[in-house]
Amino acid sequence: MEDLRNYEQKAEKLKALAHPHRLCIVKGLIDNKCNVTTIQECLGLPQSTVSQHLAKLKAAGIIEGSRKGLEICYSVVDEETIEIVRALIKK
């Protein structure tokens, strides 16, 4: 039963990464921590859309935000996700 739970957790991570914008966000955050505005400008998406993607990634335990004054700086905190994304996107 414990193995099944482990697979469920890994599947949730993969679901969170299974959107092109979220995958792009995670790749960008691996390279550089940044805020919503920077991500929004990079992807050309509305702020609300970027925030929704960030919420999904945060709920999956992939990213965390730390407040710096009025802005929140996001970074990838899940090492397994970093390995997955680097394997998928080799540059």
Domains of the chain: 2-88 (1.10.10.10)
Contact predicate 81/26, CB 8 Å: yes
Q: CA 84, 88, 89, 90 torsion: positive or negative?
A: positive
pTM (2 decimals)? 0.88
Q: Where are the alpha helices (DSSP H) in 1-91?
A: 2-17, 20-31, 36-43, 47-59, 79-88
Q: H or E segment at 68? A: strand 63-68
Q: What is the pLDDT of residues 7-56, one digit of tens each?
A: 998 999 999 999 999 999 999 999 888 889 889 988 999 999 999 999 99
Contact predicate 79/30, CB 8 Å: no
